[in-house]
C-alpha cells in the first residue's frame, strides 16, 4: 500500500480501488467498510461517481503498481474525519505529466485544507523525481485559482478539456519549491 502523506492537519491516505467500485455503485456503507472510515455523502455526487472516480479506477487497474500516483482521501489528523479527496490524475507515464487535483467538501472549504494538500502532493511528486507538477483549473474557479497561486504554481498555458472545457494550466518546477 502507498505511504500516507502527512501535513500539519491532514493525512492523505490511499483510496482503495474496491472502495471506489462501491462509491461508483452508490454504496457508501460498503466503501466505508473497505476504508475503515466514515465517508461523507458528498462522495456520492454525480460528478465524482460518473467522472473522477471511474477515471481513477481505470488508471489504478491499468497500473496497480503505481497506486501512489492516484487518489487519496483527505483525513483530518485531529478527529479522523474525511473532508475531501486529492491526488494525482494518474501515473505520469500514463497521463503524460504529474498533475494534481483536489476536492474539499463544502463544510470544510475556506480553511486552507486544499492548499495544505496541494503542497504535500507537489513536494511528494518532486521528491519522486518529477521536475514539474501541474494543475489545470477552470478560469471561473476563483477558489482553486487562489490555491494554485498560493502554493506557487505559475500559469504555463491553456487547454481544452473534453469534460471541463477551457482550463488554465499551471506548473510548479523543482526550483520553485
15 in Cβ contact with 69 (< 8 Å)? no
* SS3 label, residue 128: coil
**75: how many CB neighbours lie within 10 A of its CB?**
21
Q: Residue 130: its pLDDT value, please?
A: 96
Q: Name the residue ranges covered by the structural domains of the chain.
A: 5-176
Instruction: Report the mean per-residue pLDDT for the chain.
Output: 94
* Cα–Cα distance measured from residue 136 to residue 59, given in angstroms and rounded to the nearest whole number: 18
Q: What is the pTM of this model?
A: 0.94
Helices (H) and strands (E) in the chain, counts: 7, 8
Please, are residues 48 and 24 in contact by the beta-carbon 8 Å criterion?
no
CA dihedral 126→128→130→132, nearest 10 degrees, is: -20
Q: How far is CA 39 from CA 23, 26, 49, 80, in A?
A: 10, 12, 14, 11
Question: 9-18 pLDDT, tens per residue?
Answer: 999 999 999 9
pLDDT of 163: 75
Pair 85, 103: CB distance under 8 Å: yes
Would you tell me how many other CB atoms lie within 10 Å of the CB of residue 26?
11
Task: Tell me the per-residue pLDDT of 119-175, one tens digit each, with 9 for 90 and over.
Answer: 999 999 999 999 999 999 999 999 999 999 999 999 999 999 877 889 999 999 987
* Nearest to 75, CA basis, from 110, 35, 123: 35
Could you report the per-residue pLDDT of 33-48, keeping only the tens digit for each? 999 999 999 988 888 8
CATH superfamily of 5-176: Gcn5-related N-acetyltransferase (GNAT) (3.40.630.30)
Q: 161 pairs with which residues across the strands?
A: 165
Question: What pLDDT, in 10s, does the model give residues 160-170?
Answer: 987 788 999 99
Amino acid at each position: 500500500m502507498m505511504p500516507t502523506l502527512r501535513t500539519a492537519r491532514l493525512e492523505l491516505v490511499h483510496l482503495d480501488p474496491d472502495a471506489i467500485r462501491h462509491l461508483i455503485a452508490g454504496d457508501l456503507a460498503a466503501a466505508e467498510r473497505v476504508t475503515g472510515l466514515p465517508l461523507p455523502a458528498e462522495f456520492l455526487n454525480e460528478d465524482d461517481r460518473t467522472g473522477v472516480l471511474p477515471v481513477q479506477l481505470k488508471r489504478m487497474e491499468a497500473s496497480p503498481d503505481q497506486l501512489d500516483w492516484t487518489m487519496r482521501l483527505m483525513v483530518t489528523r485531529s478527529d479522523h474525519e474525511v473532508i475531501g479527496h486529492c491526488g494525482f490524475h494518474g501515473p505520469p507515464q500514463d497521463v503524460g505529466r504529474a498533475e494534481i487535483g483536489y476536492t474539499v467538501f463544502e463544510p470544510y472549504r475556506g480553511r486552507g485544507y486544499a492548499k495544505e494538500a496541494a503542497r504535500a502532493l507537489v513536494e511528494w511528486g518532486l521528491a519522486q523525481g518529477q521536475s514539474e507538477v501541474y494543475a489545470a483549473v477552470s478560469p471561473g474557479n476563483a477558489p482553486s485559482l487562489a490555491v494554485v497561486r498560493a502554493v506557487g504554481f505559475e500559469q504555463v498555458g491553456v487547454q481544452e478539456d473534453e469534460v471541463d472545457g477551457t482550463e488554465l494550466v499551471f506548473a510548479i518546477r523543482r526550483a520553485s519549491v
